């Protein structure tokens, strides 16, 4: 089997799973290989403890991804996944390992503009209301008591990780081009917060807005994948 021309590796949002990207292959060129990372504590890795810090999560993923970077690879991360993808990119470069050729981030403020979710720890109902307010796919499942007990722990772990990350050290600028996507009605990062990703690359950054909220990706996944494809055709 021929090696793929491009490998696109996707990083899910907080509480998200690899299956969030299950439809992306139908919009991508046939000679691409699409995959998504599976964070510990969910899906097939549900028995594994959730990472307690961004450094731990990025380190685990860099260990796994480094041997898989033999073909031209790009990273895409949505929301929390954008931060994870950036941290893994910087960590691979610091190790002298092959880094992705480009970084695509979505629905996420630049690292230095991140804010804690709250001044104190939210109780379960407050956390679920915050998640439901973002309108993500499957949010209605959190209202089912049996599923709520299963889904809530990784969500809480991810938000605790993100709160600590917002107040802690961040990876430096990377030597790869960055493209930042955002929803025009996202209640989270402002357009200026997203455009500030330009400070995290030594090569160049472009931004593109889509109608919708934090999960604008769901109705616009075809448009996003095709935009990625067009940009990579010009780049590679």
Tell me which DSSP letter residue 214 carries.
T
Q: What is the DSSP string of 133-194?
A: HTT-TTGGGGGSHHHHHHHHHHHHHHHHHHHHHHHS-----BSS-EEEEEETT-SSS-HHHH
Which three-class secondary structure state does DSSP give residue 72?
Answer: coil
**What does the alpha-carbon distance between residue 157 and residue 52 come to, in Å, rounded to a whole number?**
7
**CA distances (Å), origin 161, targets 20, 150, 197, 201, 230:** 20, 18, 21, 24, 34
Domain 6-235 sits in which CATH superfamily?
Alpha/Beta hydrolase fold, catalytic domain (3.40.50.1820)
Name the one residue in this structure whose structure tokens are 């007990």: 149
Q: Quote the pLDDT of residue 132.
A: 76
Distance of CA 134 to the CA centre of its chain: 15
Domain range annotation of the chain: 6-235
Single out the residue of 65, 172, 160 nearest to residue 111, CA to CA.
172
Q: Could you give the C-alpha distances from 22 to 12, 36, 37, 211, 236, in angstroms and in order?
A: 11, 9, 12, 22, 25
* pLDDT attached to residue 120: 60
The end-to-end CA distance of the chain, in Å, is 22
Q: Do residues 53 and 189 make contact, with C-beta atoms less than 8 angstroms apart? A: no
Provide the pLDDT for residue 139: 67
Element (H, E) at 103: strand 102-106
Looking at residue 140, its pLDDT comes to 67
Catalytic amino acids?
A: 79
Of the candidates 13, 54, 11, 92, which has an alpha carbon nearest to the alpha carbon of residue 168?
Answer: 54
Q: Provide block-wise average pLDDT over 10 residues at a time, the chain (236 residues).
A: 86 93 93 95 89 96 94 96 98 95 97 80 80 73 72 89 94 97 95 97 96 95 96 88
Alpha helices in the chain (DSSP H): 54-65, 80-94, 124-133, 145-167, 191-195, 217-235
The rounded radius of gyration (Å) of the Cα atoms in the chain is: 17
How far is residue 98's CA from residue 213's CA, in Å, rounded to a whole number? 34
């Amino acid at each position: 089997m021929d090696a793929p021309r491009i490998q696109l590796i996707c990083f899910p949002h907080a509480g998200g799973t690899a299956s969030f990207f299950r439809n992306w292959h139908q919009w991508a060129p046939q000679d691409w290989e699409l995959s998504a990372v599976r964070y510990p504590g969910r899906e097939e890795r549900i028995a594994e403890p959730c990472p307690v810090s961004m450094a731990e999560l990025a380190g685990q993923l860099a260990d796994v991804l480094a041997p898989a970077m033999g073909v031209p690879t790009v990273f895409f991360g949505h929301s929390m996944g954008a931060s994870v993808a950036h941290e893994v990119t910087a960590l691979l470069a610091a190790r002298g390992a092959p880094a992705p050729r480009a970084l695509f981030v979505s629905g996420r403020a630049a690292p230095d503009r991140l804010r804690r979710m709250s001044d104190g720890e939210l109780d379960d109902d407050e956390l679920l209301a915050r998640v439901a307010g973002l309108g993500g796919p499957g949010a209605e499942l959190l209202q089912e008591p049996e599923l709520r007990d299963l889904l809530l722990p990784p969500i809480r772990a991810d938000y605790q990780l993100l709160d600590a990350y917002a107040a802690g050290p961040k990876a430096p600028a990377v030597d790869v081009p960055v493209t930042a996507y955002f929803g025009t009605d996202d209640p989270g990062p402002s357009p200026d917060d997203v455009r500030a990703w330009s400070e995290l690359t030594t090569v160049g950054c472009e931004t593109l807005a889509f109608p919708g909220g934090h999960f604008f990706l769901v109705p616009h996944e075809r448009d996003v994948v095709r935009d990625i494809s067009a940009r990579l055709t010009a780049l590679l």
